[in-house]
Structure 1
């Protein structure tokens, strides 16, 4: 099993997870995805969240911020969406995307697990 497949399975193993993807934000394409929700199209989510990441990076550059994005959290009434850019040398230009059922997820634990997964991801 590849490191990418393992990372996606680990992401889906987080309580409340309904979808996970590893996305290239240069192209907007998902390199891999897993999901159990019929209402969440991960290809559309990958493309749309690519724009979120690009916009935030542009804004940080314009503000002169010399920091890295740890994660971006989007809170919906029934879901959490977490975007976590991959910081390792082998994952530059990628981000992890995860959608969680808000009623079943522990947000703090999910963010902690996603950080661990991101640190070990090699693509």
Structure 2
């Protein structure tokens, strides 16, 4: 059974998946940190993906210094998780915003492409 979406157990399952995701291991010469913030009806859930030497990791909470931050409504996060929307469509409709250094998108395009499915979450 899949953990409840955005619960601490869900983030733990996402971390386990990240560590097993061979395509995301050893992908960067220095750490790349991608933070996801989901605005819920009761506040915010944040977690971040750390890529670099060794296996990828997903850590609960905000990052000390994220290269790129994705800020999504809960509805957008659920639609992406369910596979009925993608980041591009949510960016277009305003339910997902990006913050940070846009150069990360071009310099790390191959890394970010591999991280997209993982950030959608376990399930």
TM-score (norm. length: structure 1): 0.35
TM-score (norm. length: structure 2): 0.35
Choose between structure 1 and 2 for higher RCO, CA contacts under 8 A separated by at least 6 residues.
Answer: 1
